[in-house]
Structure 1
Amino acid sequence: MSEGFAAGALVGYQYWKDAPAIGTGQYAVAFDPVTGAPTAMGEARDDFDIHALRLGVKGTAEFDMFDIQAEAAWIPYAHVSGALGGSAPGGFNFPGVPVTVYENAQTTLSGRGQGVMLEAMAGFHPTENLALRIGGRAWYLEGNLDAVFNGTAGGVAQPTMTLPSTYASLFRYGLRAELTGKF
């Protein structure tokens, strides 16, 4: 810290768990032997594990009872894996397939990506040892993911389909609040 200002570079690893509770998808777990229609459904939730390399800069400035902190990081490489919530409990109709195809397991994903992470906070110091901060963050990741789809048609399990993507993206943003005490 020089005259109330500091800046520096960062290199690091971040584990990002993204498992939003945005509702539950479904997939078929049991089928009617005559019609091939689902008779019982299983719960499927989005659940991603992201391992990211981060390269960036961080700066801070202090003014009497206030401070400002900001960080910008580039993610040149991230490994993404996980599962996607069930997509269509009513099934899919594919061209050339005379019966409806139902998902019989969660769709799994794996692949790589790149992106950016931005964070900023403004703080108030009511005492020398206490800081209250509020700010925000925005994380963005895009890349190529392979999806593995498991389906059943007419009550008969179909071969697993690997569906490569040319583009997938994930964007998370939100407010941050922090209370820090020094002892």
Structure 2
Amino acid sequence: MSRLLPIAAVSTLALCLAAPGLAADYGMYPELRPAYPNQWALPEDDPLRFEAGLRYWYSWGEQDFDVGPLNQSTSDTTHSGEAHFRIDDDSTQSYVKGYAGYAFLMEGDYSTTVSSGSIANGRLGYVGADFGYMPFGNEVGSVGGLIGYLYWNDSPNAGRNSFTAADSSADIAWTEGSPFYNLGFDSEANNLDIHALRLGLTGRAEISDMIDITAEVAAVPYAHVSGNLGNVLMDSASGPFTGNNVFLSSPVNVEGMGYGAMGEVMVGFKPTENMALRVGGRAWYLQGQTEATYSTVSVIGPADSDADGDLDQAPTLTEQGYITTQDNPFSLFRYGLLAELSVTF
């Protein structure tokens, strides 16, 4: 035991003498974490702002399509629900937004070259997205440009022409000896799809902590329009038939290009920091030209091949297609009032 005490004393003295050297070589051990600073750094503010909500659009719609000398026009009042979102990036002064809506009630009137009546509901649906860049302004307001895309289906139900589904003589129902025959028929309602490019200006102003204004105006330099017109040609009669006849054998399909303009303005009130109630208006307008295609069938009625008084030759059918490429102007106009409830997070 007496020998251990001197050894321990020598060891302790050696560690004490080495301590300054170890402290001087602290930098040789970078994996050792230094002490915490006296002041903690606060995290930077998130530059992203998110907003989402629901809208109600009360709109009036007007359509006018010409196919050569024939015309189909509609006028409707429509109630739509819409969901939307917007993401603002303050670090780049840009935003993206998206919206989608669908009508739950449509009513109105239509007229064609040969008839008129009431719109029995219909379909209005749309999906759009925009990218905006607003480099000009300050914390009170900013302006800039936008580029966007809109898919828009605007299809008031203006009645429907019936057309024969027969495309060969074998599709004609006939009993030998009878002067009468029948064909199957089908029909399609209006269906118009629009794909539109949007280029324009956008702005936003914070009037106060409780009031804001957003506005945009966009040109539509190109829009593709396609679909069918349900009631632009005269309706085919129902059977039975006799003799020689010509029947419509397809809907009237249209396809073309258009251009126009769109605009929207909203005034918002913020009862709380992250909730906004807004009201405003929106208008979409397009015009252009289409190509219209449709087909007909000609039926030659039953015949007496051997002149014995009995009809022994079945009816025969031939089909003919048509295309009209000129004098087919169209216009679409939908405008109305918007109400919105949004939250930010």
Into which bin does the TM-score normalised by the smaller protein fall? 0.7 to 0.9
Aligned length: 175
Look up the match of 2:143. Answer: 7
1:53 pairs, out of 191, 197, 200, with 197
Query: Which one scores higher on RCO, CA 8 angstroms, separation ≥ 6?
Result: 1
Give the structure with the higher percent helix.
2
- State the shift of 1:46 in Å: 1.6
- In 1, distance between residues paired with 2:188 and 2:263? 31
Secondary structure of the residue aligned to 1:25 is coil
- In 2, distance between residues paired with 1:32 and 1:165? 38
- In 2, distance between residues paired with 1:87 and 1:27? 11
- In 1, distance between residues paired with 2:225 and 2:217? 21
Identity %: 41
User: Any stretches of 5+ residues in structure 1 without a counterpart?
Assistant: 93-98
Matching residue's letter, 1:159:
Q
- State the shift of 1:109 in Å: 0.9
Conservation of the 8 A alpha-carbon contact between 1:28 and 1:39: no
Look up the match of 1:96. Answer: none
- In 2, distance between residues paired with 1:127 and 1:136? 23
- State the shift of 1:104 in Å: 2.3
Conservation of the 8 A alpha-carbon contact between 2:228 and 2:252: yes
- State the shift of 1:114 in Å: 0.8
Secondary structure of the residue aligned to 1:114 is strand
Alignment of 1:31-70 (within 5 A): 41-64=185-208, 65-70=210-215
The change in CA–CA distance for 1:61 and 1:148 in structure 2 (over 3 A counts) is: same
* Length-normalised TM-score, structure 1: 0.80
- State the shift of 1:158 in Å: 3.7
Conservation of the 8 A alpha-carbon contact between 1:68 and 1:121: yes
- State the shift of 1:120 in Å: 1.4
Deviations for 1:92-125, whole angstroms, at most 9, x for unmatched residues? 9xxxxxx775432211111111111111112111
- In angstroms, what is the RMSD of aligned CA positions? 2.7
Matching residue's letter, 1:84:
L
Look up the match of 2:27. Answer: none
- State the shift of 1:7 in Å: 1.0
**Who wins on radius of gyration, i.e. which is larger?**
2
- In 1, distance between residues paired with 2:324 and 2:219? 28
Matching residue's letter, 1:113:
G
Conservation of the 8 A alpha-carbon contact between 2:290 and 2:330: yes
User: Any stretches of 5+ residues in structure 2 without a counterpart?
Assistant: 1-136, 166-171, 238-243, 301-316
- State the shift of 1:88 in Å: 4.1
Q: Do structure 1's residue 24 and structure 2's residue 159 form an aligned pair?
A: yes
Alignment of 1:164-179 (within 5 A): 164-166=325-327, 167-179=329-341
- State the shift of 1:126 in Å: 0.9
Secondary structure of the residue aligned to 1:12 is strand
Q: Do structure 1's residue 142 and structure 2's residue 287 form an aligned pair?
A: yes
Conservation of the 8 A alpha-carbon contact between 1:4 and 1:61: yes
Secondary structure of the residue aligned to 1:139 is strand
- State the shift of 1:182 in Å: 1.5
Q: Do structure 1's residue 161 and structure 2's residue 322 form an aligned pair?
A: yes
Look up the match of 2:255. Answer: 110
